[in-house]
Amino acid sequence: MKKSAFWLMTAAVLLGGCSSAEEPVADKTPPVKEQIQEESGPVLEASYFNEVKEIEGIQVIQNPENPMVLVNKAFALPSDYIPPDLVRPNVAYSFGDQDIEKSYMRKEAAAALEQLFAGAKEDGLFLFAVSGYRSYERQEEILAAGAAADGEAKALGSIAPPGMSEHQSGLAMDISSESNGFELNQEFEATAEGKWLKEHAHEYGFILRYPKGKEEITRYIYEPWHFRYVGKEAAAIIAENDWTLEEYFDNVKPAE
């Protein structure tokens, strides 16, 4: 990290129960007045930057409910963090109507996901949610299984260590299609649904979190199925500049 790390480490002040996800999206992430594009680069309200504390050698995020939270292999969510506003989006799931952990997202992201799926449907395409919120404990299980099958080094290329998964934030959703057998694989990029998402997701406040050609920056393999909610303003800037979320925070400046 360059500028992002500097602000994350030096800024002194940076900065519930389930309910229906069918309410209109109140895009708080962040409002136009707090995030503007200037000639020198985008400006973001200081409260949307990570506030971190080093714990046992790990940079642990202290404001995890920040909807712009940057979660990766450098910045981890607290092991006991559970988003307080998890809801189940009213969308189609690859596993049907099962009311299980991975069907949930944070309320604002869930409402935006509903609009994203509705937008695809208007264009004659049908998306399916595969995996949303994931607890710290569940991430431990997934990584352990991946390491047992392929070795830890290979597993870490596509599976986040516990605490370092965006899924724990409740702001990410893995998406697939019937045409792709509901699978999460790189072949999804060639489907009509995958192409539509790449082109239109930012219009609904989502970004393709781990794009092709940016593996050295994100430190994960290309994942055409993994979409992260950041709000329409940030998503538009990220899409326009072909940035990752890491690059966004390398270029964004805190508002004075």
Which is the catalytic residue, given 108, 114, 189, 223?
Answer: 223
**What is the Cβ-side half-sphere exposure of residue 103, based on CA atoms within 13 angstroms?**
15
Task: Report the first-to-last Cα separation within the chain, whole angstroms.
Answer: 21
> 56: how many CB neighbours lie within 10 A of its CB?
5
- Write down how long the chain is: 256
Q: CA angle 12-78-185, nearest 5°?
A: 115
65 is catalytic: no
What are phi and psi for residue 86, nearest 5 degrees? -70, 135
* Residue linked to tokens 């509705």: 118
Which one-letter amino acid corresponds to residue 174? D
Q: CA angle 35-38-41, nearest 5°?
A: 85
> 43: how many CB neighbours lie within 10 A of its CB?
16
- Cα separation, 141 vs 148, whole angstroms: 11
Residue positions annotated with a catalytic role: 223
